[in-house]
Structure 1
Amino acid sequence: METRVVGTASRDVPQRTRKMTAGLGGGVALEWFDWNVYGLMAAFLAPHFFPSDDPVTSMLSALAVFGAGFFARPIGAAILGPIADRISHKRVMLISITTMAVTSLIIAAMPTYDSIGVAASVILLALRLIQGLATGAEAGVANAIAIELAPPGKQGQYLGLISGTFIQAGIFGSSLCAFFVSAAVPDGALSDWAWRIPFLVGGILGVLVVYLRASLPETLIERAMHSKDELDRVQSSTGDVWRALWKVRFALLAVILVIGSVQIANYAWITGLPNLANGSYEENSTWVFAITTGMGIVWIVSAPYIGKLADHIRPSRAFTIMRLLLVPAFFLMLLYSGPGLGVFSLVMVLGGVVVGFNMSLYNFIAVTLMPKAIRTTGVAVGYALGVSIFGGTSSYLLVWLRSIDMFWVFPVYGAIVALISVAVYREAKRRGYVRVGD
């Protein structure tokens, strides 16, 4: 087995560190840009791929395809996670980002239902499934590399930068792109053809990110092969990876809930509520995207500071405080029960701040729960399951519940899962599964 050696000296060379951070974080940002663009454009591409007499039915079909991509993620994590843990973190990251870029370009150029009939719907679904497979291990690999590159004692701050600021930069970038496109094109053009532009932008940016990621070091450490501790050495086979993961299965459950809970809120705020505004309430789309973009700015700025707070007061305490604040934030969305950009702004800004704080921490907390030998696989599988079960269904569930006048169920559901995530995490900590930072 070929094992590469980390250039540990890179921590002491600011220029190399900045370049590696740009490559690592840039890929994370682009993944979220490409992923979120579909969610933001769902209301506009829906009639082109899922035509229906009822706009809500058409939009729900588009959101169902959005969710389908999430359900491919666990399969991608199961396939690519062990490869990353045993052979190469870097190669898996390059595969992921290249696939995202290529599929985004295809979506930007592909024919619609009017041209090729139901084949257009099938192709769109297939592309989203491919994206889900490719990104299944992305979070696990990115965070495994980030925790190795983080300066000692500043893991929370560095993970906040990679998994907070760069993720939010991707989300912010997708919202900003949607805003500029909506503002620049004539009335009706966004629904007609301009929805393709953000996908095109994401594909082109992917070329730059592939170049930056090619400069990343490999973070499998040679000496880990000779460690006596099974959970701190490179595993000799894929089967060994899965056996090691089974030994920490309660920690894996904690990872799933830590990630899944915040993804309910994340996709409610970045795609669910904007689609509710654009589709069901027919708000001015330019203003909807502007408000969503403004929320993203708060997320970008706050992420490293929330990570720094976690380093200062302990990750477990910071996580508990932020996750409990998410409970009342969920119920704030009940205010948006009808058209009105003022109320939409209030819900997006006030609730969004709390969601952003949680988004700054969740990847760091997930990484702390997994041992080094299976960190990529554990975080990737936990991330993929958490996002697919909870995040992938969030937007659809929110819009559907609103359509049947049961909107109140959504915040109750989100609040319950948030409380369960805290309880399971605290129990995992009590059992000794927290391995970094506490």
Structure 2
Amino acid sequence: MSKLQDPAPASRAEASPVRKPGHAKQLFALSAGHALEWYDWAMFGLLSVYIGQAFFPGENAVAATLNSLAVFAVGFVVRPIGGVVFGLVADRLGRKPVMVGAVAVTAAASLVIGILPTHETLGIWAGVIVLFCRIMQGFSTGIEGSLGAAYGVELVPDRPGYVAGFMATFNNLGNMLAPLTAFVTSSLIGPEGMADYGWRVPFILGGLLGFIVLWLRRTLPETLPAASSVAEGSRVTTRQQTGEVWKGVRKYWLSILAVVFIVGAIQAYNYTWLSGLPSIATGTYGEDPTGVFAVSTSLGVILTVGAFVLSRVLDKWDLSRWFVLGRLLAIPTIFLVLLYTGNGVGPLAAVLLGGSLVLLLNLTIFSTVANLMIPQQFRGTAVGLGYGIGVALFGGTASYLFVYLQSVGLGNVFPFYVATLCAISVVLYLVAKRKNGVFKGKQAD
């Protein structure tokens, strides 16, 4: 399997305007928004039991949890729309304004959920407002995940493995902060206080952190200049007209289909670990929530530290090889979920942590791998479309499907479903790579 081609001299020139000594600072500003996104989304799934009881009461705890997870899934359903709309804006007008606006909407929606009166006070309108917030977050995060990785690759085009590991460190930090915040809150006020009002604290914190991220992103450079600002005859990739963008999307349809499964398969695995298993532990098996949050926090620590380590080694080997290896390992590892049957926090920890290294490798590289399949000038729209569809179809529904199948005695079916998605993602990736190549800047391999 061939490696990514080094840019030609002219391509090095096109990258030079954004290759500055302070690229780590720029990547930090970019990655902080990713951390906030993953924090918010992991928190909603992690606290679905309490959210369901507060805004979507049902016959019992399981029904309320399923109602909440359904809203969790709705947020993912609108992500392809957000990915396409804002991806097109990013390819037409530039990356920076989209990245600033996306994080603002995400933070505002989180803050509203944190302070919103419950169903007991507002009736059905409480649930409607939460649903609206999730839809708005879906629109904004539909582009945050996909365009953020594209932005990072464009900031540091010659080190895709470093970019993947650096950004994944902060993605996983967001995942870690979600259960850590819940764990600390639950430890301080106890299970009853957590169910009463404590679940609000993480959402309010997420909203306030959004203002800090907005301040950090104000200094990000633009990586896709307007054609009018580029000297005639230059080979620098510039912003495209809408028609040209859609021509590119049609041309690379096979690569976009591969992106759907590259993203969707690992997100199904990811949300099983981050929210599906913890939701079953607390909602179905009645495990101590403090213990469950502690285990989830430990998983977050492994993913965060591990991604930082991988940022130092991934460029020593072709990302294509890392991707195929990680995805093939995910196929048997997903069957670990069958080992947890509600016999305490210990077995839950064995499953979550036992599958953590495979999850780590896949989560670290999937978004960068997806972006390298599309040329820079179409990347915002094309990857936004594929990323959003993959997350909506397979990621956002994973927790709901997992909990539902467990509740009707068909839990054994779920790992076969995820394993099939992983296998399809490998096949499509290899086929699309052979047909269209992969891209570093504008160079194809």
In the TM superposition, what are the counterparts of 1:416-427 in structure 2 within 5 Å?
Answer: 416-427=420-431
Contact 2:259–2:387 under 8 Å retained in 1? yes
Q: Which residue of 2 aligns with 1:79?
A: 85
Structure 1: runs of 5 or more not aligned? none
Contact 2:331–2:422 under 8 Å retained in 1? yes
Counterpart residue type for residue 11 of structure 1 = R
Q: Which residue of 2 aligns with 1:346?
A: 350
The Cα offsets for residues 72-110 of structure 1, whole Å up to 9 and x where unpaired, read as 111111211111111021111111111111111111111
What is the Cα deviation at residue 382 of structure 1? 1.2
What is the rounded CA distance, in whole Å, between the counterparts of 1:376 and 1:245 in structure 2? 10
The Cα offsets for residues 357-414 of structure 1, whole Å up to 9 and x where unpaired, read as 1101101110110101011112211111110100000000000000011101110000
SS in 2 for 1:137: helix
1:219 aligns with 2:223: yes
Assess, with a 3 A threshold, how the Cα gap between structure 1 residues 382 and 307 changes in structure 2: closer, same or farther. Answer: farther
SS in 2 for 1:186: helix
Q: Which residue of 2 aligns with 1:130?
A: 136
What is the Cα deviation at residue 258 of structure 1? 0.5
Q: Tell which deviates more after alignment, 173-182 or 227-236.
A: 227-236
In the TM superposition, what are the counterparts of 1:358-369 in structure 2 within 5 Å?
Answer: 358-369=362-373
Q: Which residue of 2 aligns with 1:13?
A: 21
Identify which of 32, 36, 39 aligns with 1:30.
36
Counterpart residue type for residue 155 of structure 1 = P
What is the rounded CA distance, in whole Å, between the counterparts of 1:340 and 1:226 in structure 2? 65
In the TM superposition, what are the counterparts of 1:228-247 in structure 2 within 5 Å?
Answer: 232-236=237-241, 238-247=242-251
Contact 2:15–2:154 under 8 Å retained in 1? no
The Cα offsets for residues 331-376 of structure 1, whole Å up to 9 and x where unpaired, read as 0110002332111011000112211211011011101101010111
What is the rounded CA distance, in whole Å, between the counterparts of 2:46 and 2:90 in structure 1? 31
What is the rounded CA distance, in whole Å, between the counterparts of 1:227 and 1:179 in structure 2? 57
Assess, with a 3 A threshold, how the Cα gap between structure 1 residues 430 and 228 changes in structure 2: closer, same or farther. Answer: farther
The Cα offsets for residues 166-202 of structure 1, whole Å up to 9 and x where unpaired, read as 1101111111111111111134011111110000000
In the TM superposition, what are the counterparts of 1:395-406 in structure 2 within 5 Å?
Answer: 395-406=399-410
Structure 2: runs of 5 or more not aligned? 1-12
What is the rounded CA distance, in whole Å, between the counterparts of 2:195 and 2:365 in structure 1? 36
Q: Tell which deviates more after alignment, 419-428 or 217-226.
A: 217-226
Q: Which residue of 2 aligns with 1:158?
A: 163
Counterpart residue type for residue 162 of structure 2 = Q
What is the Cα deviation at residue 63 of structure 1? 0.2
What is the rounded CA distance, in whole Å, between the counterparts of 2:254 and 2:234 in structure 1? 19
**Taking every aligned residue pair, what percent have the same amino acid on both sides?**
38
Identify which of 63, 66, 72 aligns with 1:66.
72
What is the Cα deviation at residue 304 of structure 1? 3.9
Q: Which residue of 1 aligns with 2:255?
A: 251
What is the rounded CA distance, in whole Å, between the counterparts of 1:118 and 1:64 in structure 2? 16
What is the Cα deviation at residue 292 of structure 1? 0.6
What is the Cα deviation at residue 62 of structure 1? 0.3
Identify which of 373, 377, 386 aligns with 1:373.
377
Q: Which residue of 2 aligns with 1:184?
A: 188
Counterpart residue type for residue 303 of structure 2 = W
| Superposition TM-score, scaled by structure 2 size | 0.92
What is the Cα deviation at residue 141 of structure 1? 2.0
Assess, with a 3 A threshold, how the Cα gap between structure 1 residues 189 and 433 changes in structure 2: closer, same or farther. Answer: same
1:317 aligns with 2:325: no
Counterpart residue type for residue 102 of structure 1 = A
The Cα offsets for residues 261-308 of structure 1, whole Å up to 9 and x where unpaired, read as 000000000000000111001111111111111111111112244355
1:46 aligns with 2:52: yes
Q: Which residue of 1 aligns with 2:204?
A: 200
SS in 2 for 1:43: helix
What is the Cα deviation at residue 229 of structure 1? 11
What is the rounded CA distance, in whole Å, between the counterparts of 1:9 and 1:225 in structure 2? 11
What is the rounded CA distance, in whole Å, between the counterparts of 1:413 and 1:231 in structure 2? 43
Q: Which residue of 2 aligns with 1:55?
A: 61
Assess, with a 3 A threshold, how the Cα gap between structure 1 residues 313 and 141 changes in structure 2: closer, same or farther. Answer: same
What is the rounded CA distance, in whole Å, between the counterparts of 1:161 and 1:189 in structure 2? 37
Assess, with a 3 A threshold, how the Cα gap between structure 1 residues 229 and 287 changes in structure 2: closer, same or farther. Answer: farther
Counterpart residue type for residue 298 of structure 2 = G
1:169 aligns with 2:173: yes
Contact 2:265–2:425 under 8 Å retained in 1? yes
What is the rounded CA distance, in whole Å, between the counterparts of 2:437 and 2:70 in structure 1? 35
Contact 1:6–1:217 under 8 Å retained in 2? no
SS in 2 for 1:188: helix
Counterpart residue type for residue 389 of structure 1 = L
SS in 1 for 2:439: coil
Assess, with a 3 A threshold, how the Cα gap between structure 1 residues 434 and 226 changes in structure 2: closer, same or farther. Answer: farther
SS in 1 for 2:321: helix
Q: Which residue of 1 aligns with 2:4?
A: none
Counterpart residue type for residue 200 of structure 1 = I
Q: Which residue of 1 aligns with 2:270?
A: 266
Contact 1:333–1:351 under 8 Å retained in 2? no
SS in 2 for 1:57: helix
Counterpart residue type for residue 87 of structure 2 = G
Q: Which residue of 1 aligns with 2:108?
A: 102
Identify which of 411, 415, 418 aligns with 2:415.
411
What is the rounded CA distance, in whole Å, between the counterparts of 1:141 and 1:288 in structure 2? 33
**How many matched pairs?**
429
